[in-house]
Structure 1
């Protein structure tokens, strides 16, 4: 797949920029590349010069009167010779700009090039809206299920990474996530009844089974997630997804809401409920966002099947989303029964941000 390479070079001159001097000083560099020039000027807003080449590459040079000079270059990616020529061009522009700004050297910022439209997408937003470039080098799996888009990509640093509908869910290196959503290593699962909501990657199920529970029931709606993860996420799930039932666990491929309602009607109770369905919504309008309605329903139903001395574990969201997290904690005060809660902040490797995890328990005796 053809891709475009977008390179940037920024200069902060720290003084009023003389656009005409800068243009004249840089023109020979672009002309040597066979690029034609077009210039637009505004008396109070500086100037913009564009340079185009017969091979389709182009550059824009924006000079602001307050001393900011921005160079953007777009060209085809994958051509080794073209990449060398582009790097040479950027080096020449940088050296010439240092000469033009004497005696005071400019502050220079050259970012790694952004590759757009490539076969491997390396860019994913964090929960708090920052753009992160991952070291993704291979697409192992991508399919659309009836519920979501499923991708499993390989990262040199984090191993295989599960991405659901554009959200990074779990990498093989994310043991910190799994430990945190199980109580941070402080719980005794031996001989206990455990309910996992979601968790189709199998990471939580794999770790709980090692702790010799009485029975673990996992309810995951998407069979395609299970099938993809048992093939490509084995460092996280081990062998537990090879079969939907084992000595001390079973996996139900179903919507968890009717399952929870049925368990509540039957009086089925669990020592631990682990909700790995979704993060706290980023929306700060809980009365309007359907995800908040889903979250509240899951909370209420989970409390109905949680033993009075049991614990409910779930992820929150990025620690920077303080308003959304505060709204979640507000919802905890509106459940059908009074609850207490605590939270832990954990660095999840592949998320590249600090993540909040909650423990919730009932505060009234039966």
Structure 2
């Protein structure tokens, strides 16, 4: 008999995956981790009952959270990733040849399991000489580091459990301290159809620390509920409003292909559906 594994992120709604082989299942120091096979989505990772990534659709999220801030900045050299233990964001960031990347992940077991069971996510990025992997608390790292970054990408879980501290005003303030003058912060911010309060709360907590704060959207099939939002913050208001011609030129110069991201999608992603606009004060 097939085993169905349900996601338990929402109280009144669930999605389920028909699981084939369960490849790994363990309660780690920080969270419950399970990796299993699904005939359609390939390998699926869940942490604490919440879908984190799948083989089939990971490129959508990883491309948009990575290339939008890097190409909007236009001259990023140093990038910081908080979280992202599966290596997908790291893979996309390092496709930009001039970039050095520091990655801070709290749970070493997530990195090791991802290398073993999701090798295509990182595609060798952990072995790239431009990657500096730090196993540490991201909240503490941004508070104490003396390094400065052109782009900070927060690829966190939802604001429950270990990921909750990465949605606080204190954390956003410390991220701002770590950014260069025209630096950009992008964070995972949930699916506002179900998690609308996260948009409002993030805006309230992030806005005091940046001259420009907003959101852009991306549709990831396994993050159910339609569009998910990615929070955007910078002290350079012009970065978010780069014309498509500029983004096209930068993307062409980057010299790689994508499966979701395009300059048109980049620019259009900042045009928010009305129901999301209503969540922004």
For the aligned pair, the TM-score class normalised by the smaller chain equals 0.7 to 0.9
> Larger relative contact order (C-alpha < 8 A, sep ≥ 6)?
2
Over 6 Å off, 4+ runs: none
Gaps of 5+ in 1: 1-77, 79-117, 283-289
Deviation at 1:229, TM superposition (A): 0.3
Q: Aligned partners of 2:158, 2:95: CA distance in 1, in Å? A: 26
Q: How does 1:80-95 map to 2 (within 5 A)?
A: none
1:295 partnered with 2:180: no
Residue by residue over 1:207-227, the C-alpha shift from the partner in whole angstroms, topping out at 9 and shown as x without a partner, is 111111331000011111011
1:49-74 C-alpha deviation (Å, 9 max, x unpaired) = xxxxxxxxxxxxxxxxxxxxxxxxxx
Aligned twin of 2:229: 356
- Cα distance in 1 for partners of 2:107, 2:157 equals 14
Which of residues 176, 191, 202 is equivalent to 1:328? 202
> How many residue pairs end up in the alignment?
232
Q: 1:188 to 1:155 in 2, by over 3 A?
A: farther
**Distance change (3 Å), C-alpha of 1:292 and 1:247:** closer
- CA 1:128/1:343 → structure 2, altered by over 3 Å: closer, same or farther? farther
How far is 1:280 from its partner? 4.7
Query: Conserved in 1, the CA contact under 8 Å of 2:172 and 2:205?
Result: no
Once residues 281 and 180 of structure 1 are traced to their aligned partners in structure 2, the CA distance between those partners, rounded to angstroms, is 23
Aligned pair partner of 1:236 in 121, 127, 130 = 121
Instruction: Give the structure with the larger strand fraction.
Output: 1
Aligned equivalents of 2:65, 2:46: Cα separation in 1: 18
Note if contact 1:190-1:214 (Cα within 8 Å) is conserved in structure 2: no
**Which range is displaced more, 166-175 or 217-226?**
166-175
CA deviations 1:13-44 (Å, max 9, x no partner) are: xxxxxxxxxxxxxxxxxxxxxxxxxxxxxxxx
Aligned to 1:213: 98
More helix per residue? 2
CA distance in 2, matches of 1:145, 1:322: 30
Structure 2 residues not aligned, in runs of 5+: 238-281
What displacement does 1:238 show? 1.1
Q: Distance in 2 between matches of 1:128 and 1:314?
A: 24
Distance 1:230 1:189, change over 3 A: farther
> Quick check: 1:310 aligned with 2:194?
no
Q: Is the 8 A contact 1:189 1:211 kept in 2?
A: no
Give the 3 Å change call, closer, same or farther, for CA 313–294 of structure 1 in structure 2.
closer
Query: CA 1:305–1:163 in 2, change beyond 3 Å: closer, same or farther?
Result: same
Distance 1:216 1:129, change over 3 A: farther
Q: Match of 2:148?
A: 269
Distance 1:175 1:146, change over 3 A: same
State whether residues 19 and 36 of structure 2, in contact with CA within 8 Å, keep that contact through their aligned partners in structure 1. Answer: yes
Whole-angstrom CA distance in 2 between matches of 1:314 and 1:198? 10
User: Secondary structure in 2 aligned to 1:349?
Assistant: coil
Equivalent position to 1:196, from 55, 78, 81: 81
Correspondence 1:142 to 2:14:
no
How far apart, CA to CA, are the structure 1 residues paired with 2:236 and 2:131?
29
